[in-house]
């Protein structure tokens, strides 16, 4: 019943099996695409644990909301009203400009820019492994989230969806060192690839020849060339340019516009009509 010499294969043999299976899963996950589907099932499977882990934080947030004083709520309300007024005023102009732009594009016989569908998702309070910069959000394939989906916050690009579960999905932040996206400089349309460094405040422009017209303070926006991110969303601001001619390329450091380290609400983006097709 409680055998000292347990039945079954010997320890080294068991370990050998574990080793072989690990090698198989690691190679499948890294070198093939077949793990995407599997990951969806697995993410769905562990989602309850994630919801459970984020529960204390959620409860704490709810309590903080409940305990907020009336005066602070009134102040906040006032500030938000002002903000809305300002933004509405901008929107009025935007509608006019959009109509004008569509007309001009029609004159050039190019397609008008498509509108995108958005949905707000909340970042769940769960930790991720320290080697990657990713967050888990509370929307998944049941909300038509998909792999490679662009993710924004109110300021700019945040990253993209890398794996989807039924009710959760994981977002790779654009500052992760495995993440890169095509950008252009808003001022003069110089194109480039912006890669994360693993540092929350630093991203690097890759392979930019010396003498390229990039200055400190330039705004970098998505160029839409990678066909993941739609065109024209703000990504980062250049904070440092090192024209060191002994190096093969110019070193340009940029800081993401989105507050990547303190995101709570994010926007998932769909192309026009794409979401309805997925339903």
Partner 1 sequence: MIKLFRSSWWFITISVLIALVLSIMPLPLEIKAWRPDWLAMVIIYWTIALPHRVNIGTAWVVGFMLDILLGTVLGIHAFAMALVVFVTASNFQKLRNFSVWQQAALIGVFLLLYHMVIFWLNRFLVQINFSLDLLYPAFTSALIWIWLFPVMRGYRRRFKVR
Cα 102 from Cα 110, distance rounded (Å): 9
Cβ count within 10 A of residue 90? 9
**131 scored as a contact of partner 1 (CB under 8 A):** yes
Q: Does 52 bind partner 1 (CB under 8 A)?
A: yes
Q: Are 256 and 156 in contact (CB under 8 A)?
A: yes
Residue 244 near residue 86 (C-beta atoms within 8 A)? no
Spatial contact of 170 and 135, defined as CB atoms under 8 Å apart? yes
Residue 3 found at the interface with partner 1 (CB under 8 A) = yes
* Burial category of 166 from C-beta neighbours within 10 Å (exposed 0-12, middle 13-18, buried 19 and up): middle
Is the CB of residue 214 less than 8 Å from the CB of residue 250?
yes
262 binds partner 1 (CB under 8 A): no
Does 209 interact with partner 1 (rule: CB under 8 A)?
no
Member of 14, 98, 191, 251 binding partner 1 (CB under 8 A): 14
**Contacting range for partner 1; rule: CB under 8 A; set: 24-32, 95-103, 137-145, 230-238:** 24-32
List the x/- string, 29-48, binding to partner 1 by CB under 8 A. Answer: xx----x---x--xx-xx--
Q: Is 178 in the site for partner 1 (CB under 8 A)?
A: yes
- When binding is defined by CB under 8 A, the residue of 33, 53, 75, 164 that contacts partner 1 is 53
Interface segment toward partner 1; rule CB under 8 A; list 111-119, 120-128, 150-158, 271-279: 120-128
DSSP 123: B
**Contact call for residue 201 and partner 1 (CB under 8 A):** no
């Amino acid at each position: 019943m409680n055998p000292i010499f347990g039945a079954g294969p010997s320890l080294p043999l068991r370990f050998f099996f574990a080793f072989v299976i690990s090698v198989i899963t690691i190679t499948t996950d890294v070198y093939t695409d077949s793990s995407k589907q599997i990951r969806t099932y697995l993410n769905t499977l562990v989602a309850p644990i994630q919801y459970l882990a984020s529960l204390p934080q959620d409860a704490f947030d709810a309590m903080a909301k409940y305990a907020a004083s009336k005066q602070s709520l009134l102040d906040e309300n006032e500030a938000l009203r002002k903000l809305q007024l300002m933004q509405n005023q901008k929107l009025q102009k935007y509608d006019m400009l959009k109509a004008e732009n569509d007309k001009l594009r029609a004159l050039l016989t190019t397609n008008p820019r498509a509108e995108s569908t958005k949905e707000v998702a909340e970042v769940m309070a769960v930790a991720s492994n320290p080697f990657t910069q990713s967050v888990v959000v509370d929307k998944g394939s049941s909300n038509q989230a998909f792999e490679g989906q662009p993710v924004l916050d109110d300021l700019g690009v945040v990253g993209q969806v890398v794996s989807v579960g039924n009710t959760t999905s994981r977002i790779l932040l654009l500052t992760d060192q495995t993440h890169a996206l095509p950008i252009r400089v808003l001022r003069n349309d110089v194109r480039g690839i912006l890669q994360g460094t693993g540092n929350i405040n630093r991203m690097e422009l890759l392979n930019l020849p010396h003498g390229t017209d990039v200055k400190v303070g330039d705004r970098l926006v998505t160029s839409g060339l990678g066909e993941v991110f739609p065109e024209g969303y703000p990504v980062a601001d250049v904070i440092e340019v090192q024209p060191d001619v002994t190096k093969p390329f110019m070193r340009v450091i940029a800081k993401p516009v989105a507050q990547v380290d303190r995101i709570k609400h994010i926007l998932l983006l769909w192309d026009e009509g794409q979401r309805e097709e997925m339903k």
